[in-house]
Structure 1
Amino acid sequence: MTDINLASLLAPRGLRLIDVARAVSVNKATVTRWAQKHVPAERVLEVERITGISRHDLRPDLYPREERAAS
C-alpha cells in the first residue's frame, strides 16, 4: 500500500527522512519503511506536527479531504 512518497513531501521543506527519524526518536530504517509503505496511523499526527505536512497528504486513506456539498 503506497499512500504517499514521504521523501518527496519532505524535500520542499528542506527535510530528510533522517530528520523525521530523529524528531520522533526512531531509527532511520523505520522512517525509510514509512516512506516505502505508509506512516503508521499512530504516528501521523506527530509527523504532521513536526513536518507541517497535512495529515490529509500523509494518510489520505485515514484522513480524506472533506468534499464540500454543492449548494
Structure 2
Amino acid sequence: MSALEKAICAAGSATKLASQLGISSMTISHWKNRYKGLVPADRVFPIFNVTGVTPHELRPDLYPNPTDGLPQNEA
C-alpha cells in the first residue's frame, strides 16, 4: 500500500481526504494515477495533519529520515 493509499484509508475515502484538504477528489485521483502516488510537496503537511501519514512516508525524497518534518513531541 502506498503512502497516498494509506492516507486515503485513514481519511475514510479519497473524497473525504479531498474535502479535508479543500481540493477536488479528481486531484487525489491524479496524484494516484498520473503521478504514481507522488504527492506535491506543498500538500505533505496538510495530509500529515489530517491523516497522520508522515512526511517521510509521503515524500521520502524530501524527508529521507523517518522523523524529518515531524513536530518535536511526535519525533
TM over 0.5: yes
CA distance in 2, matches of 1:58, 1:27: 19
- Matched residue of 1:35: which SS? helix
Task: State the superposition RMSD in angstroms.
Answer: 1.7
CA contact (8 A) 1:5 1:35 kept: no
Q: How far did residue 33 of structure 1 move? A: 1.4
One-letter code of the match for 2:31?
W
Task: Kindly state the Cα deviation for residue 17 of structure 1 after the two structures are TM-superposed.
Answer: 1.2
The 5-angstrom pairing of residues 16-27 of structure 1 reads: 16-27=13-24
Where does structure 1 lack aligned partners over 5 or more consecutive residues?
A: 67-71
Query: How many percent of aligned residue pairs carry the same amino acid?
Result: 31
Q: Relative contact order (alpha carbons < 8 A, sep ≥ 6): 1 or 2 greater?
A: 1
Aligned residues between the structures: 61
TM-score (norm 2): 0.69
Asked whether the 8 Å contact 2:56–2:63 carries over to 1, the reply is: yes
Letter in 1 for 2:4: L
CA distance in 1, matches of 2:56, 2:17: 18
TM-score, normalised with respect to structure 1: 0.73
Alpha-carbon distance in structure 1 between the residues aligned to 2:41 and 2:23: 15
